[in-house]
Amino acid sequence: MTQIEHIGLHVYLYCLDFCVNASNLLGIDYVTFGNLFFGGLMNLVILISVVWNILLCKPKPKPST
């Protein structure tokens, strides 16, 4: 197994464990939590990141002297 596969496996197992434990704490099933988390929250994080990047990359006006 290559190093990247080894890291990917650990990340996958961590995310799986997180989703199972969070769904148990919230009292919902694993599939519903996965849909809410990855389908809603993570898309919101991506959208905010894109908007933030666009705002940071806009050229700043030069001060007049």
pLDDT at 23: 92
- Determine the pLDDT at residue 65: 67
| CB-based burial, 12-51: b 16+ in 10 Å, e otherwise | eeeeeeebeeebeeeeeeeeebbeeeeeeeeeeeeeeeee
pLDDT over 90 (residue 36)? no
